[in-house]
Amino acid sequence: MGSALVLVALLLGAPGIAAATATQQELEESLTCQCGCGLTVHSCNHLQCQSGEPMKKEIADRLAAGEDKEKILAAFRGRYGEKILSAPTFHGFNWFAWLTPFAALLLGALGLTRVLHRWTHETPAPVPPVATPVDSALRSRLERELAELDREP
Amino acid sequence: MPEIGRLAVCLALLFAAYAVVSSILGGVRRRPDVVRSGEHAAFAVAGLVVVAAAILLRALLQHDFTLEYVAAYSSSSLPTQYTVAALWGGQKGSLLFWAFMLSLFTAIVQIQNRDRNRALMPYVTATLMTIAFFFLALLTFVTDPFERLPVAAREGADLNPLLQNYWMMLHPPSLYTGYVSASVPFAFGIAALASGQLGDQWIRSVRRWALFSWSFLTLGNLLGARWAYEVLGWGGYWAWDPVENAAFMPWLVSTAYLHSVMIQEKKDMLRVWNLVLVLLTFALTIFGTFLTRSGVISSVHSFTQSGLGPFFIGFLLFVLVVSGGLLVYRLPDLRTPATIESFFSREAAFLFNNLILVGIAFAVFWGTVFPVLSEWVRGVKITVGPPFFNRVNAPLGLVLLFFTGVGPVIAWRRASPRNLRRAFTAPVLTALAAAAVLGVAGVPPGFAYLTFVLGCFALGTVGQEFWRGVRARQAMLHESAPRALSRLVGKNRRRYGGYVIHVGVVSAFVAIAASTAFRIEVTQPLKRGEEMQVGKFRLRYERITTAEDAHLSRLAAEVSVWRDGRQIATLAPEKRFYKKPQQPTTEVAMRSTLTEDLYVVLGSYDRDSDLATIQAYVNPLVSWLWLGGIFMACGTIITMWPAAAERRATAFALGGARVPAE
């Protein structure tokens, strides 16, 4: 289970496992604007938004003060709750958010592979012999009509 | 006049109820006269709903502020085109618009099937009229569009300024058309289950309806993206908002159906799966409407929220129970001997393509509902936003792009090593060449790089198919290349139309990857005459201009755009201040080319210091997204265009001759 979590985390570029230096933009994209727009702090430019600009300024100030990403996100989370984060964390129940789509897909792929394996190994029903062989007159008529069809506008 | 509108809705409700009952009774008791009576009632519903919609539109155009709906969603200064758009701009009007389209589509289905599919039609009519009954019941008992105000308003509150955009004239009707027309394949699916006519006749009857619905869902999603891009002013076009997701999910499942149905047509397999996809597509359209109306999940589309959520979730449950029950009841009859000869076959490729499409739809669904689940289980509100959807869907999208390349050229039944070499050598070489060129050009390895390479692979397969087809015709029939191309497409519209759609899909993938990975953005406060650099562009803030009319006032920043020492454009991003309701909006200014969009927003303006904050973005290849839409539309038209034999049959039928009834 542990190695599966690490694999999914790597695939998703999870913070904490795939470490990276945080930038202003990265932090703004990690936080949801609280004006109700549903966008990240980075994307929100609503004119009546009272939330985005102060948050951008606070991020800039904290980065300038040398705080790292985890500490800055923790500060916002402490103030607004978990809903401030723009994506579920990689902890506890939230793992279900990340793992379920891949688990469902994996199960689907396994099921499909199994079904395909069964279908490819089933013997097809014998094809009954052709009752009436196609005579040459019929064959030439068929070819003539197909050629006519092909010439149609 | 509004009273006549209300009466029309009430009568339509009664006729819809009659149509449901008489169609089912006629179907069960095999009474063609009773079935016809139900069909006539469905025509009456169409006529009555057209009257109701026309009356509401007339009230809007005449600024009849005695009506609550007209007063809430229009004003006397609202431009005419947006007054027309107000018909679907509010909840009551949009429900009436839904009923209007559904009743029209039902009438078209009745005309198309006057002398065919007679065993299915009672249940088709009953299903479509049940859906109409639901919407008409809401309009009659819950949310009356013809409700009068106790005292007439002196002036209307106006349409939401965000909706006052020309794309909003097109986006909702397109999406509604896609949603509502998905009812037709659903109705035929239910009819097949109810009547026991489980062969592929119903599938063939709804092929064009399924394509029609898919194409309008595509168009609706793209027009919505274009609206967001121009109106919301954040530099992007897709925010994974719950309501965007709600429109995307049926598109994904419908796309899966359009592929898997080919296997049923070829091999009479996957009957159950195709029925599930058709039922699911319709259920997702209702789920999408529930999301939009209920407000259970916070959304940028909050202007459509209402208390209708419980009604939609109830109807959704009813749909799921009835269709699921019928499916389980008919399961023994739906089983057909299924054989696929090899994993290396088009059938298997289509099945894996289905898995990915439905997997993405599930991932989107899961991300959309997870906040509700989290609150329910943990009591903690969380947000599932763009980072989640981008991370989860990006790898799945790459796999889908791979199958977009594999599906069209891998052989049916079994691809031998020779078939595989013949089918994939050129596309794989194209992809490898693209990988090398991109590497030399300095494109960093990552999702965007992989998207470009796989996109070239998929385009390689399509290009190869066209090339080989044209060459074969030239060799056999000595046609010129343009004539061979037009004949090739004309003689097999479905196949080559599908390839054109694939080109559009690849174009959209490339646009999304490039504009996400290589976007440049700069925000800078500028005084008059000052400049800022954005990528290869230099922007100079020249002056501010103002204008005002009865409806709104404008504040526009004139920004000259320079490149390589030469002025190439003047842009004027605006802030608008609408007077009713008093609300500011952003008007983006853009210089759009095939290679990139220069996207400029006036962030803020301080009159005292004459300081304008300019937000500028360089979004690479965004035009390819809209271009992809055009390719998809052209491909759909090619695919749906009737063949010569069909045109002759239609002309014959219209000339008075009738195909004998079943």
pLDDT, tens digit (0-9, with 9 covering 90-100), for B157-192? 888 887 888 888 888 899 999 999 999 999 999 999
Count of residues making up chain A: 153
* Structure tokens that stand for B647 in this block: 């045109």
pLDDT at B66: 92
SS3 B593: coil
Mean of the per-residue pLDDT values of chain B:
90
Name every residue whose Cβ is closer than 8 Å to that of residue B410 and which is 6 or more positions away in sequence: B344, B345, B346, B349, B419, B420, B423
CA distance B24 to B416: 51
CA distance B409 to B423: 6
**Which of A40, A93, A112 minimises the CB distance to B355?**
A112
CB A93 within 8 A of CB A81: no
SS3 B548: strand
Q: By CA distance, what is B483's nearest residue in A?
A: A153
Q: What are phi and psi of A151, to 5 degrees?
A: -85, -10
Name every residue whose Cβ is closer than 8 Å to that of residue A141 and which is 6 or more positions away in sequence: none
CA distance B495 to B638: 9
A112/B386 Cβ within 8 A: no
Tens digits of per-residue pLDDT, B402-447? 999 998 889 888 888 888 899 899 999 999 999 999 999 999 988 9
B356/A105 Cβ within 8 A: yes
Tens digits of per-residue pLDDT, B243-273? 889 999 999 999 999 999 998 888 888 889 9
B229, B339, B521: which to substitute to probe chain A, counting the most A Cβ within 10 Å? B339
Name every residue whose Cβ is closer than 8 Å to that of residue B453 and which is 6 or more positions away in sequence: B431, B434, B435, B438
Segment A98-109 shows an average pLDDT of: 95
Pairing mode, if any, of strands B582-587 and B589-592? Answer: unpaired
Report which of B624, B599, B612 is spatially closest to residue B519, judged by C-alpha positions: B599
- pLDDT-derived band of residue B552, with 50, 70 and 90 as boundaries? confident
B381/A81 Cβ within 8 A: yes
Q: State the smallest CA–CA distance between residue B184 and chain A in angstroms.
A: 28
SS3 B444: coil
Q: By CA distance, what is B492's nearest residue in A?
A: A150
CB B27 within 8 A of CB B51: no
Query: Does the pLDDT at position A152 exceed 50?
Result: no
Q: Which amino acid is residue B433, in one-letter code? A: A
Tens digits of per-residue pLDDT, A39-83? 888 888 776 677 888 898 899 999 999 888 889 999 999 999 999
Segment B621-625 shows an average pLDDT of: 96
Segment A94-123 shows an average pLDDT of: 90
Q: Which of A113-127, B307-321, B422-436, B472-486 has the lowest mean pLDDT?
A: A113-127
Residue listed under structure tokens 């949310």 = B143
pLDDT at A18: 38
Pairing mode, if any, of strands B611-620 and B520-527? Answer: antiparallel
pLDDT at A62: 92
Q: What is the interface size between A and B, counted as CB pairs within 8 Å? A: 136
pLDDT at B62: 93
**CA atoms in the 13 A half-sphere facing the CB of B652:** 8
* Residue ranges of E strands in B335-463: none
A88/B374 Cβ within 8 A: yes
A24, A116, A145: which to substitute to probe chain B, counting the most B Cβ within 10 Å? A116
Mean of the per-residue pLDDT values of chain A:
77
CA distance B33 to B51: 27
- From chain A, pick out residues whose CB is under 8 angstroms from the CB of B648: none
Within chain B, how many helices (H) and strands (E) appear? 21, 10
Per domain, the residue ranges of chain B are 1-161, 520-623
* Residue ranges of E strands in B200-242: none
CA distance B282 to B185: 9
- From chain A, pick out residues whose CB is under 8 angstroms from the CB of B359: 101, 104-105, 108
- Pick B593 or B296 by higher pLDDT: B593
Q: Which amino acid is residue B253, in one-letter code? A: V
Which residues are bridge partners to B544 per DSSP? Answer: B557
pLDDT at B657: 43
Q: Is the ipTM of this complex over 0.90?
A: no
- Which range among A12-21, B300-309, B555-564, B598-607 has the greatest average pLDDT? B555-564
Count of residues making up chain B: 662
**Positive/negative CA dihedral, B6, B9, B11, B14:** negative
Residue A128 preceded by cis peptide, ω within 30: no
For residue B395, the tally of other CB atoms under 10 A from its CB is: 15
Segment B391-401 shows an average pLDDT of: 94
**Positive/negative CA dihedral, B543, B612, B225, B175:** negative
* Structure tokens that stand for B74 in this block: 């229009």
pLDDT at A21: 53
Angstrom CA distances, B570 to B92, B196, B548, B619, stand at 42, 65, 21, 18
Q: State the smallest CA–CA distance between residue A83 and chain B in angstroms.
A: 4
CA distance B371 to B377: 10
A10, A29, A39, A69: which to substitute to probe chain B, counting the most B Cβ within 10 Å? A39
- From chain A, pick out residues whose CB is under 8 angstroms from the CB of B352: 109, 112
* Structure tokens that stand for B205 in this block: 């009857």
CA distance B240 to B389: 7
* Structure tokens that stand for B546 in this block: 């103002």
- Which range among B283-297, B549-563, B620-634 has the greatest average pLDDT? B620-634
Angular region, B656: left φ>0, alpha ψ -120 to 50, beta rest: left
- Pick B318 or A121 by higher pLDDT: B318
A119/B355 Cβ within 8 A: no
- From chain A, pick out residues whose CB is under 8 angstroms from the CB of B348: 116
**CA atoms in the 13 A half-sphere facing the CB of B62:** 11
Query: Does the pLDDT at position B286 exceed 60?
Result: yes
Angstrom CA distances, B348 to B299, B343, B412, B413, B556, stand at 38, 6, 9, 9, 56
Q: What are phi and psi of B221, to 5 degrees?
A: -65, -45
Angstrom CA distances, A67 to A21, A73, B298, B346, stand at 11, 10, 31, 54
As assigned by CATH, the class of the B1-161 domain is mainly alpha
- With 0-12 / 13-18 / 19 or more C-beta atoms within 10 angstroms meaning exposed / middle / buried, residue A123 is exposed
Tens digits of per-residue pLDDT, B645-661? 666 665 555 554 444 43
How does B33-62 read in b/e, with b if 16+ C-beta sit within 10 Å? Answer: ebbbbbbebbbbbbbbbbbbbebbbebbee
A98/B392 Cβ within 8 A: yes
B352/A101 Cβ within 8 A: no
Segment B188-205 shows an average pLDDT of: 90
Segment B228-254 shows an average pLDDT of: 90
CA distance B257 to B277: 6
**Which of A93, A101, A125 minimises the CB distance to B363?**
A101
Q: Which amino acid is residue B462, in one-letter code? A: V
Proportion of chain B above pLDDT 90, given as a percent = 64
CA distance B395 to A11: 8
Residue listed under structure tokens 């092929």 = B207
The DSSP 8-state label assigned to residue A83 in this structure reads G
Report which of B105, B268, B109 is spatially closest to residue B176, judged by C-alpha positions: B105
Query: Does the pLDDT at position B77 exceed 90?
Result: no
CA distance B47 to B8: 9
Segment B118-129 shows an average pLDDT of: 94
CA distance B362 to B535: 38
Q: State the smallest CA–CA distance between residue B504 and chain A in angstroms.
A: 26
Long-range contact set of residues A30-35: C-beta below 8 Å, sequence gap at least 24: A30/A69, A30/A73, A30/A85, A30/A86, A30/A87, A30/B387, A31/A55, A31/A59, A31/A73, A31/A76, A31/A84, A31/A85, A31/A86, A32/A83, A32/A84, A32/A85, A32/A86, A32/B383, A32/B385, A34/A80, A34/A84
Q: By CA distance, what is A26's nearest residue in B?
A: B387
**CA atoms in the 13 A half-sphere facing the CB of B595:** 1
Query: Does the pLDDT at position B297 exceed 50?
Result: yes
**Which of A12, A86, A122 minimises the CB distance to B339?**
A122
Q: State the smallest CA–CA distance between residue A135 and chain B in angstroms.
A: 26
pLDDT at A48: 65
CB B61 within 8 A of CB B83: yes
A32/B382 Cβ within 8 A: no
SS3 B478: coil
* Structure tokens that stand for B446 in this block: 């990552």
For residue B177, the tally of other CB atoms under 10 A from its CB is: 19
A44/B382 Cβ within 8 A: no
CA distance B589 to B35: 57
Angular region, B340: left φ>0, alpha ψ -120 to 50, beta rest: beta
